[in-house]
Amino acid sequence: MTEFIWPVPAEHPAFAGHFPGNPIVPGVVILDQALLFAEKLLAAGVDRTGAWQVGNAKFLSPVAPGEVLLFALEQKASGSIAFSVKSGERSVASGSLTPPAP
């Protein structure tokens, strides 16, 4: 398992419309960050082009500006990558991603 830390920038542009007065990180932003970390996990000399597939994604708890998220990624024997996201002890999201073929 490989872990990555992402401090949610308080000035992230998604907060402007999601939701004014009570901003939370949109699920798609968390998913995008998981994809970026998955690409880093596989970057060791592997050339992959094409689209990733989201096997599943669950968003369990809202995330506010400035929170620090811990992404834990694990490559499975099938080639997919399982991810979980926490803020402290609170589970925020989980799911699986399938990379494009090499």
Under DSSP, the state recorded for 94 is E
Nearby residues of 17 by Cβ (< 8 Å), 6 or more positions away: none
Of 22, 7, 4, nearest to 66 by C-alpha is 7
Catalytic residue among 6, 12, 18, 67: 18
Tokens 């925020």, located at residue: 92
Tell how strand 68-75 and strand 2-7 pair up: antiparallel
12 belongs to the catalytic site: no
Q: What amino acid positions are annotated as catalytic residues?
A: 18
